[in-house]
Amino acid sequence: MFKIVKKRALNSSVILMELDAPFIAKKALAGQFIIFRVDEKGERIPLTIADYDREKGTITIIFQVAGRSTERLSQLSEGDSIRDVAGPLGVPTHLGEGVKKVCVVGGGVGCAIAYPQAKELFGKGLEVDVIAGFRNKDIVILEEEFKKQCNDLTICTDDGSYGKPGFVTDALKEKIESGSNYDAVIAIGPVPMMKFVCAVTKPFGIKTIVSLNPIMIDGTGMCGGCRVTVGGETKYACVDGPDFDGHQVDFDELMKRNSTYKEYEANCRLMAQAK
């Protein structure tokens, strides 16, 4: 059992939880994830480790209430416990040698995954710019946290209600064309967003890392559910990733696979709401 030691709503549908998980906190690194079950009958859900505190022995997860399992998780309070948390899983983010300036691009709840990336790189002394995009002002998350972990933060909103009007890709292209010589870009968010970020960086030859979110079940590479095509080869996000070279990812295939259970998921949400 993993005790919830802190719970905070970041917006109307996104929740932060800090869990007592000393063994996971001891080994966790940016880019890795956990798989949880709310109770013994719950489904296995992957979530990126948004933060960790080795001294306190805690990890932080941030999730959007989007389905039956996340709805059940959101109903738990501080002091309650989660049945299972397995991790840390996946390969930590690695940018290679010689990287000095990085732009971390996050979209929506994907900013929860972008945050630990920015924090770790900034802590290592790299120059870090962050571009965080949201549909509108009401769903902006982690703004103050990002400000402490980067050299420059740009908040974008699709409707122009806060920060810079427009998409993260517009802001990124503007920065690149104005002379921001990035050694690498890390993009984390909705699949279409990551796809178009890669389209922006490719003509400039900027190394671009994306964190993929395919359907995942066991987290050990055995089920094959999280397979993605990268550079024409089949990879498994849970053991080969979740980080990959964005310029090699077949995003169209990923989007198609991610929509496989869309109708079933919608029906589950309706059933849960009816109870």
With H, G, I as helix, E, B as strand and everything else as coil, classify residue 130. strand
Q: What are the pLDDT digits (tens) for 54-65?
A: 999 999 999 988
Q: What are the pLDDT digits (tens) for 217-240?
A: 888 888 888 899 999 999 999 999
pLDDT at 272 over 70: no
Nearest of 257, 213, 186 to residue 90 by alpha carbon: 213
Class of domain 101-258: alpha beta
Q: Compute the mean pLDDT over every residue in the chain, rounded to the nearest whole number.
A: 91
Instruction: State the pTM of this model.
Output: 0.90
Question: What pLDDT score does 269 carry?
Answer: 62
Domain parsing of the chain, residue ranges: 2-89, 101-258
Same fold, 2-89 and 101-258: no
Residue 218, class by beta-carbon neighbours within 10 Å (0-12 exposed, 13-18 middle, 19+ buried)? middle
Q: Encode 139-170: b = buried (16+ Cβ within 10 Å), e = exposed.
A: bbbbeebbeebbeebbbbbeeeebbbeebbbb
Nearest of 64, 106, 124 to residue 210 by alpha carbon: 106
Percentage of the chain beyond pLDDT 90 is: 75
Tokens 């994830």 found at: 33
Q: What are the pLDDT digits (tens) for 55-112?
A: 999 999 999 888 788 888 999 999 999 999 998 999 998 887 889 999 999 999 999 8
**pLDDT (mean) for 242-253:** 95
- Residue 270 confidence class, pLDDT cut points 50, 70, 90: low
Tokens 């940018």 found at: 95
Question: What pLDDT score does 268 carry?
Answer: 66
Question: What pLDDT score does 66 carry?
Answer: 80
Is there a contact between 62 and 50 (Cβ–Cβ < 8 Å)? yes
Measured on CA atoms in the order 268, 81, 22, 112, is the torsion positive or negative?
Answer: positive
Tokens of 155: 């908040």
Domain spanning 2-89: CATH superfamily:
Translation factors (2.40.30.10)
Question: Which of 65-79, 179-193, 240-254 is predicted with the least confidence, judged by mean pLDDT?
Answer: 65-79
Beta-bridge mates of residue 103: 129, 185
Question: What pLDDT score does 240 carry?
Answer: 93
Helix (H) or strand (E) holding 271: helix 262-274
Task: Answer with the residue of higher pLDDT: 148 or 223.
Answer: 148
pLDDT at 194 over 90: yes
